[in-house]
Structure 1
Amino acid sequence: MTIRKKKSAQASHVTKGDVLDDLGLSRAEALEAKVKADLWKDLVSHIESLHLSQKELAGRLGIHQPDVSNLLTGKISRFSAGMLIHYAVKLELGVQVKLTAAKTRKGHTIQASIPPRQKSRSLAA
């Protein structure tokens, strides 16, 4: 009987430490992917706290149940950042988008915020 030793695993790819860089995305594409991932993560975290069925969530978001399934399973390539923001607002979440000038240029910070809607209060007479 011959016993063969397993070859040690060798790295077939050296990474730069950032998966978006490794994919060869432009800076703009990488930023968009990061923004979408962050929006998705926070949105799904909130959705999980609501304990809704997919059917109930579909009704609140105004989308079909298969789209809810895609959203919850992380198929974010099927959703634009704008769609994720739209869903967040429908679930009464506040959204903040912050743009800053490049470090090499002087400029102002532009910030757009949409706070969550406040529940209307009835005033007792």
Structure 2
Amino acid sequence: MKARRFASVWDAIEPDRAEAANMKLRAHVMMAIAKAVESWEGTQAAAAKRLGLTQPRMNDLLRGRIDKFSLDALMNIADKAGLKVRMAVSRKAA
């Protein structure tokens, strides 16, 4: 069996490129939110309230449970966290 190399873990485990791209974006936004939350002083409960989340949902976010969040939901949470998310779109390499 020949070893294959992938640009990211998502490329290796997702069945198609579109889903891998979605998961990469979700992972990046989720990590940025978690980093922002970690920089705030206060409790996890206070951070959850600030983001409009329940405590269990906040716990899911901070533990990286990516399957529990859509890209749309993460974008809304990022906005509440005071983050600006930018995305670049380009053509695929031939």
Q: Which has the higher strand share?
A: 1
Higher relative contact order (CA 8 A, sep 6+): 2
Matched, 1:96 2:69: no
| TM-score normalized by the length of structure 2 | 0.83
Give how far 1:14 is off.
7.0
Partner residue, 1:33: 23
Give how far 1:89 is off.
0.7
Partner residue, 1:23: 13
Question: Could you say what the CA RMSD is over the residues aligned between the two structures, in angstroms?
Answer: 2.0
- Unmatched segments (≥5 aa) in structure 1: 1-12, 105-125
| TM-score normalized by the length of structure 1 | 0.64
**1:80-110 deviation per Cα after TM superposition (whole angstroms, max 9, x unaligned):** 1111111111011111122223345xxxxxx
- Unmatched segments (≥5 aa) in structure 2: none
Q: Which has the higher helix share?
A: 2
Q: Percent identity?
A: 30
Alignment CA distance shift 1:88-1:24 (3 Å): closer
Larger Rg: 1
The count of corresponding residues between Structure 1 and Structure 2 is: 92
Give how far 1:56 is off.
0.5
